[in-house]
Amino acid sequence: MPEIKNETSEDGALTAADAEPDGAPTTISRRGFLGAGSATLAATALLGGRLAAEVPSPAEVAKAEHDRSATNPGPENAPLAAENPSSMLPPPTDHGDVPTFWYSFALTHRRQQEGGWARQVNIKDLPLSKDIAGVNMRLTAGGVRELHWHQAGEWSIMLSGTARLTAMDTEGRAYVNDVQKNDLWYFPAGVPHSIQGLGPDGCEFLLLFDDGDFSEFDTTLISDWVAHTPKEVLVKNWGVPESALANLPKEERYIFQAALPGSLAADKQAAQGGLGPSPVAFDFPMHAMAPTKKAAGEVRIIDSRSFPVSTTIAAAHVIVHPGAMREMHWHPNADEWQYYIQGKARMTVFINAGNARTMNFNAGDVGVVQKTMGHYIENVGTTDLIFLETFKSDHYVDLSLSDWMSRTPPELVMQHLNVSRETLAAIPKEKLVVVSDGSKTA
Ligand code: MN
Ligand code: MN
């Protein structure tokens, strides 16, 4: 953007201190202003009397984009810059110092082992990721994420393929079930469990933990515990001879290749003790769930009201058709941790006092929107946009800008925004969640 030097002169020319706290235009007819340098005059005229700290007009930005102002003769990571055109060439409404709310699993270290791999995005990668840490994991057919538990609650969505889950509930009852693409699961903190990829090609899934400091590489593993327990204690604990324990792992296994399991019915039967199977539904078959809202897309909201075991993570699975948009909204209860499954998105987060930033998102990217901050997510690609909105909460809640405007006396809104009664009447009267392109239907 054009920049005005804050010229100082003894006769009180324009300075940054003259800006009004709310960013409103400063009265420029100050004593001695006419005596200021001609450069200041010219620049002020160019900006229509506004100060450099203000947002440039679209016309100014359009001009800057097409003259030498936008050139970039220095070094550039061109492929990465091309992934985020809204950072390279922000919309003119972007302004201020907004914390980065984008990261990508494509940039993370991938821990590869025989049987699968894992990579994570937590607060170390993305400082705004305070409430939630995300892990992306792949297991081959037969590959096992070994028997373990952790201090954080684990929520998950299957992205590809199928897996067999096992767990034991807090009453000591066994849970075994198979999940497929788009199914969810949740294991509370301390509940022991495992995940095994099934045929033909294993699975890939996203895990979310209700703690941004969580590390997937710091969990309680059965192999690790056993490897760090004196042999005589294991003998006493299990009542078996030490010779039977000669081949125990010497270190953690974490992920390893195993044989494919037998039938689900056989595994359920084999794991079930005298207490019978666990009545706790640790998984949620979202693949069979009808959308809860439809308007230029699909939305499925899953939280503890429909998935009772999931007491710390609430989620919305959102599909936005090409050209459509997740409407302008905010969440009063928690930060939003997003995962992009498919398509191309543009999101602007408005963080008050004139500060706003726009970034682009692709499959495998993560976004975080701080609690209560206004945002939209626009499908800027040619395919359906599919993404997850997740929250560290027992319930999902969002508030819609259009809905709020309609739940307010019209005269009040009209005077705030200088819009006519006809315009206000045309704005949606309810929360649509996903909206189509209004400029094309108007
Ligand atoms: Mn786990
Ligand atoms: Mn949101």
Ligand with an atom nearest the CA of residue 301: 2
Confidence of residue 65 (pLDDT cuts 50, 70, 90): confident
Cβ-Cβ contacts under 8 Å for 373 (sequence gap 6 or more): 330, 349, 350, 351, 352
Q: What is the pLDDT of residue 294?
A: 63
Q: Is the pLDDT of residue 30 over 70?
A: no
Instruction: Enumerate the β-bridge partners of residue 359.
Output: 347
Confidence of residue 58 (pLDDT cuts 50, 70, 90): confident
- Cβ atoms of residues 337 and 157 within 8 Å: no
In 3D space, the residue among 140, 248, 281, 153 whose CA is nearest the CA of residue 209 turns out to be 153
CA of 125 to the centre of ligand 1 (A): 20
CA of 398 to the centre of ligand 2 (A): 7
Q: Is the pLDDT of residue 40 over 60?
A: no
Q: Which two tokens stand for residue 56?
A: 């440039």
User: Across all residues in the chain, what is the average pLDDT?
Assistant: 88
Among the listed residues 60, 389, 411, 430, the single catalytic one is 389
> How far apart (Å, rounded) are the C-alpha atoms in residues 27 and 32?
13
Q: Is 389 a catalytic residue?
A: yes
Ligand with an atom nearest the CA of residue 334: 2
> How far apart (Å, rounded) are the C-alpha atoms in residues 148 and 152?
12
Higher pLDDT residue, 52 or 261? 261
- Cβ atoms of residues 137 and 235 within 8 Å: no
CA of 345 to the centre of ligand 1 (A): 30
CA of 336 to the centre of ligand 2 (A): 6
Ligand with an atom nearest the CA of residue 397: 2
What's the Cα-to-Cα distance from 22 to each of 30, 274, 355, rounded to whole Å? 19, 69, 12
CA of 317 to the centre of ligand 2 (A): 11
Cβ-Cβ contacts under 8 Å for 225 (sequence gap 6 or more): none
Q: Read off the pLDDT of residues 72-115 as tens digits, 9 standing for 90 and up.
A: 889 999 999 999 999 999 999 999 999 999 999 999 999 999 99
Q: Is the pLDDT of residue 39 over 50?
A: no
CA of 115 to the centre of ligand 1 (A): 16
CA of 411 to the centre of ligand 1 (A): 53
Helix (H, G, I), strand (E, B) or coil at 387: strand
Q: What is the pLDDT of residue 56?
A: 74
> How far apart (Å, rounded) are the C-alpha atoms in residues 405 and 415?
12
For 103, phi and psi rounded to 5 degrees? Answer: -150, 170
CA of 381 to the centre of ligand 2 (A): 19
> How far apart (Å, rounded) are the C-alpha atoms in residues 257 and 141?
8
**Average pLDDT estimate for 147-173:** 98
CA of 148 to the centre of ligand 1 (A): 6
Ligand with an atom nearest the CA of residue 144: 1
Cβ-Cβ contacts under 8 Å for 176 (sequence gap 6 or more): 164, 165, 166, 264, 267, 268, 271, 277
Ligand with an atom nearest the CA of residue 348: 2
